[in-house]
Homo-oligomer: A and B are copies of this chain.
């Protein structure tokens, strides 16, 4: 008899909140989960069948970890690709595929991929170092990003003048023309090994500009059908062009003219899909498991309006985390709290999220505002 999902050992590179929520779902299928993370106190530590503390960027550590799993996935892109490629050559299943992670790891290569595949994206230029920024063709202000290792808003700068350019990152850079967009949206798309592709409904994001993090997400979008269909079509075309197996989050800008420009990709469950746990028939975590185990995609329709808020560590608070007024927000109907098991808070650290579900969109937003003003992560 062929191996079944419930017999398989899933190796997860990275043990943060995405891995944690993936494990919560994996429990439903008897999956055995092994997690590798350099933080001995990572959110997955106590809920994985086996937690290994070690580097996810070191060849040997990743290779030895992968050898023990039947199927390997990631919850963060910054992993050792060479080890994953070696494991793949030796017959291990690695989803998303290492070549996809390699492409997405480098924002420069990502942008070139968009260009080659006629995916609309903001104009860009690549620079080997900040010393070359004076050659940048874009007017001030423009954006520079580290080509590698940026996450949660780190590794991104707005360049308003020559002095800013002087202060930019040391590493190879991607410069982008500033897009004067109406809103940022996201479409999460899944693709299994059979090639079955399914998108989640378009969601709208609101950023905390100070922290440069998604702070507020609204599902589903109220953009006109034509714009939403265009966004979903772009997400599907990227997943197909990549031939990815797994989940792909596609972050996009909607311009004031209703055009769509792809910003960035993430080949895994994503912050812009957390609301799907309560807000959609199938969660992004369940969908990722379905995709990598080659099961049929689940129903992605929205059950209700859902608003997701990231719980970020309060400014000036560093130390043992305290969740102030948790009880007050739990008294509101349709409020779902997810804490990430992080012992220590620091300013802007993602400590959890809250999803507010309400059939009435305005009420959901109103409740989310209340939660945001009430529930604070302090020390």
Contact = CB atoms under 8 A, between A and B. Distances in A.
A328 to B, nearest CB: 9
Interface residues of A, number: 38
A333 interface: yes
A326 B323 CA distance: 40
Interface of A: 1, 4-6, 20, 23-24, 27-30, 32, 46-47, 49, 281, 290, 295-296, 298-299, 303, 321-323, 326-327, 330-331, 333-334, 336-341, 357
Contacts of A5: 323, 326
Nearest to A48: B46
A20 to B, nearest CB: 7
Complex A-B, nearest 7 residue pairs according to Cβ-Cβ distance, in ascending order: A296-B331, A299-B333, A46-B49, A30-B339, A28-B338, A30-B341, A295-B330
Contact of A47 (B29, B47, B326): B47
Contacts of A49: 46-47
Contact of A327 (B28, B295, B327): B295
Given A4-B326, A281-B333, A330-B296, A27 B20 contact: yes
Nearest to A341: B30
Contacts of A303: 303
A339 B296 contact: no
Nearest to A299: B333
B330 A6 contact: no
A4 to B, nearest CB: 6
Nearest to A20: B27
Nearest to A45: B49
A4 B323 contact: yes
A334 B299 CA distance: 7
A334 B281 contact: yes
A26 to B, nearest CB: 10
A47 B27 contact: yes
B29 A339 contact: yes
A336 B339 CA distance: 24
B330 A1 contact: no
Contact of A28 (B6, B46, B334, B337): B337
Given A4-B326, A281-B357, 17 more contacts: A4-B323, A6-B321, A6-B326, A6-B339, A24-B24, A27-B47, A27-B341, A28-B338, A28-B339, A29-B339, A30-B340, A46-B49, A47-B47, A281-B334, A290-B330, A295-B330, A298-B330
Contact of A322 (B4, B323, B327, B338): B4
5 contacts: A4-B323, A23-B47, A27-B341, A30-B341, A281-B334
Nearest to A343: B30
A322 to B, nearest CB: 6
